[in-house]
Amino acid sequence: MISRQQVRNFDVPLLLLGVGLAVYGLVVIYSATHFVDYVEDPFYFVKRQSMWLAMGLAGIFVVCLLDYINLYYWSRYIYLFAALLLVLVLIFGEGTARDPDILRWIRLGFIDVQPSEYAKPALILMVAKYLSDKQKYLGNFWNLLPAFLYTLIFMGLIFLQPDLGTSLVFAAILLGCLLVAGIKRSHLMAIIGAGIAFIPVLWQFMGSGQKARLLVFIDRSHDPLGAGYQLLQSIIAVGSGGPWGRGMLEGPQVQGGFIPEQHTDFIFSVLAEELGLIGAILLLLMFFFLIYRILWIGTQAKDTFGTLICTGVAVMLVFQVVVNVGMAIGVMPITGLPLPFFSYGGNALLANFLSLGLVLNVGMRRQKIQF
C-alpha cells in the first residue's frame, strides 16, 4: 500500500513540529489548569488533551495510508457530511455551562463532537478540488461562484451557532486558495472589497457579546467590566512576563485565575507570562517553520489539488495563530479562536492533526523529479 519511496518522502520534521507544539501546549495547559477546583485531579486537562493527541497521531497514520487522490473523489461526500453535522449542531447542539445559548457541541455521551473544527479540512478538500478542476477557467469571475457558495454555506451555518471567529477562518481559507490558484488581481480586490462592504450587514446579525468584543478592540475603555477586563488582564500577564518569564507555575496572573479562558482562548497569555518573550518567540518560530514546511510541500505536490490542500491548511493555521496571539496582546479583537495544536480542546487538536496528515500525504506522494 505504501512504497518505500513514499516512506522516504514522509516529512518527519513537519510531524515533529506538530507533535512538538502539542507537547509544548500540554506543559502550558498543566500550568493553567492544575489548580482549578471543579476537578480533583490536577492532571485532568492534561490527560484528556493527551488522549486526543494520541488520537491525532493515529489519525495522521490513517490519513497517510491511502493516496490523497482518493480524497479528490470523496471530497463532495466529506463536504456534505460536514454540512450535515453543522446542521445537526444547530438542532441538537449544546453550549458550555457559561454560555448555554452558544451551540457548539454535539454530545454523544462518551465524547463531545465540535463539527466546526472538522468542517475546516472538509472545506479545504472541497475548494481544492473545485479550483484544481477549474484552474484554467478562473479568469472568468462566474467560475468562482461555486467556491464562494461552498464557503458561504459553512460560514453561515457556523455564524448561526454563533461563532464569528471560526466562520472567518473559512473566508481566509478560500482567499488563500484563490490567491494560489491564480485568480485575477482585480477579482481578488473586488472580493476583499465586497467582504469589507458586507461588515455592516454582518453587524446587524451579531450578538451583543460579539459586538462588545469588537468595540473593545476599537476602543479599549469600552465595557471594561466584560470584554475589556479579559483584554486588560491578558495584556498585564504578557507584559509582566518580561523577557525571561515568571517561571513555570509561577505567574501570579495565571495562578490567581485572573485570566479568563486561560487554558483555551488565552493560553498564549499563560505562556507569555510564565515563559516570557523567549518562550513566546520559540512558539512563533515553531509555527513559522511549520507553515514554511507546509508551503514547501505545497510547491512539491504532484498536482494542483495537492498544492491547494497545502495552501488551505497553511492559511487555516496562520489565520488562527495570528488572530489568537494578536488577541492576547491586544492587536486583534477577541474572537474566541483557539491556538492550533496548543490550546486545550480535543476536537481542534484532532482536526489539526488530520489536516497535517493531508499535507504529509501530499508530501509522501510528491513528484519524483524536482526542479
Partner 1 sequence: MQKNVLARFKLLLIMVMACFILLAGRLAHLQVLEHDHYRDRADHNRITRFPDPAPRGKMYDREGEVLVTNRPGFVVSVMDMGDGFDPETVSFLSDTLEMDEEEIWERIRGQSRFMPVKLQEDVSDEVRVKIAEQQWKYSGVSIDAQYVRDYKYRETGGHLFGYISGGIIENQAVLDRWEEMGYDYDNRHVVGQDGLEINWEPFLRGKEGEQLVEINRMGQKVAELDHRKPEPGHDLHLTLDAGLQEAAYQALEEKIEKLQEEADEDEEKPWQGSVVILDPNSGAVLAMVKYPAYDPNLMPEKYMEKYFNAPGSPLYFDAIKQTYPIGSTYKPVTGITALEEGAISDSTTFHCAGAMERAGITKRCLGVHGHSNIYRAMAVSCNIFFYNTGLEAGIDALSHYTQEFGLGKYTGMNDIRGEKRGTVASREYKERRFGERWYPSETMDAAIGQTFHEFTPLQMAVYVSMIANGGVHYRPYLVQEIIDGDGGTVMEAEKEVMHQAGVSEENLEIIQESMNLVTEPGGTGYYPLHELEVEVAAKTGTAQVGRGITPHGLFVSYAPYEEPELAVAAIIEHGSYGSTSAAPVVNDIFEYYFSEDEQNGEEGESSEEGEEQDD
With b for 16 or more beta-carbon neighbours within 10 A and e for fewer, the 9-48 pattern comes to bebeebbebbbbbbebbbebbbbbbbeeeeeeeeeebbeb
4 versus 37: smaller Cβ distance to partner 1: 37
Shortest Å distance, C-beta 248 to partner 1: 17
Shortest Å distance, C-beta 181 to partner 1: 9
104 versus 293: smaller Cβ distance to partner 1: 293
Residues in contact with partner 1 by CB under 8 A are 37, 176, 179-180, 182, 224-225, 228-229, 232-233, 235-243, 252-253, 255-258, 272, 276-277, 280-281, 284, 287-288, 291-292, 295, 298-301, 307, 311, 314-315, 318, 322, 325-326, 329-331, 371
Q: What are phi and psi of 19, to 5 degrees?
A: -65, -40
Question: From residue 301, how far is each of 145, 255, 361, 362, 365 by CA, in Å?
Answer: 26, 46, 10, 6, 8
89 versus 297: smaller Cβ distance to partner 1: 297
| HEC assignment per residue over 301-363 | CCCHHHHHHHHHHHHHHHHHHHHHHHHHCCCCCCCCCCCCCCCCCHHHHHHHHHHHHHHHHHH
Shortest Å distance, C-beta 208 to partner 1: 14
Q: Cα–Cα distance between 85 and 87 in angstroms, integer?
A: 5
Shortest Å distance, C-beta 284 to partner 1: 6
162 versus 276: smaller Cβ distance to partner 1: 276
113 versus 310: smaller Cβ distance to partner 1: 310
Shortest Å distance, C-beta 325 to partner 1: 5
78 versus 271: smaller Cβ distance to partner 1: 271
179 versus 249: smaller Cβ distance to partner 1: 179
Which triple of cell numbers denotes residue 230? 479579559
With b for 16 or more beta-carbon neighbours within 10 A and e for fewer, the 162-199 pattern comes to bbbbbbbbbbbbbbbbbebbebeeeeeeebeeeeeeee
Shortest Å distance, C-beta 299 to partner 1: 6
Shortest Å distance, C-beta 83 to partner 1: 28
Q: Which residues contact 121 (CB under 8 A, 6 or more apart)?
A: 313, 351, 354, 355, 358
